[in-house]
Structure 1
Amino acid sequence: MTPAPAHVAGAGMIRFGKYPADVTLESMAVRAAHAAMDDAGATASQVDAVYVGHVFGGPVAGQRIAVQLGLDGLPVSNHENYCASGATAIREAWTALAAGLHDVALVIGVEKMTDRVAGGVRPDPGDLDAAMGFVMAAGHGMSARRYMADHGATRAQIAAVAVKNHAHSVHNPYAQYQRPVSLEEVLGARPIAEPLGLLDCSPISDGAAALILCTPRGLARLGIGGTTPRVLGCALVSGSVQLGTDDLNAEDVSRRAAEQAWELTGVGPEDIDLVEMHDCFTIAEIVRLEGIGLIPRGEGARWTELGHTRIGGKLPVNASGGLLSRGHPVGATGVAQACELTWQLREQAAGRQVDGARVGLAYCKGGTVSGTDGGSVTTLVISR
Structure 2
Amino acid sequence: MSGESVYVVGAGMARFGKFPAEVTLEKMAVSASREALVDAGCRVRDIDGVYFGTVLGGSVAGQRTGAQLGLTGQPVTNLENACSSGATAIRDAWLSVKAGLHDVVLAIGAEKMTDRISGGILADASDLDAALGMIMASNHGMSARRYMHDYGATRAQIAAVAVKNHAHSVHNPYAQYQHPVTLEQVLDARPIAEPLGLLDCSPISDGAAAIVIASEAGLARLGVTGRPPRILGVGLVSGTIHDGARSVNEEDISRRGGEEAWRISGVSPTDIDFVEMHDCFTIAEIVRMEGLGLIPRGEGGMWTEQGHTSIGGKLPVNPSGGLLSRGHPVGATGVAQACELTWQLRGTAGARQVEEARTALAYCKGGTVAGTDGASVSTLVMQA
User: What TM-score, normalized to structure 2?
Assistant: 0.99
User: Match of 2:56?
Assistant: 56
Q: Does structure 1 residue 323 correspond to structure 2 residue 287?
A: no
CA distance in 2 between partners of 1:146 and 1:5 (Å): 43
CA distance in 2 between partners of 1:305 and 1:131 (Å): 36
CA distance in 2 between partners of 1:283 and 1:323 (Å): 12
Contact kept in structure 1, 2:162 and 2:186, CA below 8 Å: yes
Please show how residues 150-169 of structure 1 align to structure 2 within 5 Å.
Answer: 150-169=150-169
Cα RMSD of the aligned pairs, angstroms, is 0.9
Query: Could you tell me how far 1:124 is from its partner in structure 2?
Result: 3.4
Contact kept in structure 2, 1:4 and 1:232, CA below 8 Å: no
What letter is aligned with 1:31? S
Please show how residues 1-384 of structure 1 align to structure 2 within 5 Å.
Answer: 1-384=1-384
Contact kept in structure 1, 2:86 and 2:331, CA below 8 Å: yes
CA distance in 2 between partners of 1:5 and 1:302 (Å): 39
Residues 43-99 of structure 1 deviation map (CA, whole Å, 9 limit, x = unaligned) = 111000000000000121111111111111111011111111000000000001011
Query: Could you tell me how far 1:370 is from its partner in structure 2?
Result: 1.0
What letter is aligned with 1:338? A
Contact kept in structure 1, 2:97 and 2:103, CA below 8 Å: yes
Residues 25-51 of structure 1 deviation map (CA, whole Å, 9 limit, x = unaligned) = 001000000000000011111000000
Query: Could you tell me how far 1:5 is from its partner in structure 2?
Result: 3.3
CA distance in 1 between partners of 2:99 and 2:227 (Å): 22
Query: Could you tell me how far 1:14 is from its partner in structure 2?
Result: 1.0
CA distance in 2 between partners of 1:122 and 1:61 (Å): 24
Structure 1 stretches of 5 or more lacking a match?
none
Higher deviation after alignment, 266-275 or 56-65? 56-65
What SS does the corresponding residue of 1:213 show, helix, strand or coil?
A: strand
CA distance in 2 between partners of 1:37 and 1:109 (Å): 15
What SS does the corresponding residue of 2:231 show, helix, strand or coil?
A: strand
Structure 2 stretches of 5 or more lacking a match?
none
Contact kept in structure 1, 2:4 and 2:100, CA below 8 Å: no
After the TM superposition, which parts of structure 1 deviate over 4 Å for at least 4 consecutive aligned residues? none
Contact kept in structure 1, 2:5 and 2:216, CA below 8 Å: no
CA distance in 2 between partners of 1:128 and 1:70 (Å): 46
Instruction: Give aligned pairs, total.
Output: 384
Residues 244-270 of structure 1 deviation map (CA, whole Å, 9 limit, x = unaligned) = 121110100000010011000101000
Contact kept in structure 1, 2:161 and 2:282, CA below 8 Å: yes
CA distance in 1 between partners of 2:121 and 2:4 (Å): 36
What letter is aligned with 2:332? A
What letter is aligned with 1:207? G
Residues 131-167 of structure 1 deviation map (CA, whole Å, 9 limit, x = unaligned) = 2323110000000000000000000000000000000
Query: Could you tell me how far 1:203 is from its partner in structure 2?
Result: 0.3
User: What TM-score, normalized to structure 1?
Assistant: 0.99
Residues 90-142 of structure 1 deviation map (CA, whole Å, 9 limit, x = unaligned) = 00000010110000000000000000112122233354442232311000000
What SS does the corresponding residue of 1:313 show, helix, strand or coil?
A: coil
1:2–1:152 Cα change, 3 Å: farther
CA distance in 1 between partners of 2:151 and 2:127 (Å): 31
What letter is aligned with 2:371? G
Query: Could you tell me how far 1:3 is from its partner in structure 2?
Result: 4.5
Identity over aligned residues, as a percent? 70
Higher deviation after alignment, 222-231 or 131-140? 131-140
CA distance in 2 between partners of 1:168 and 1:5 (Å): 32
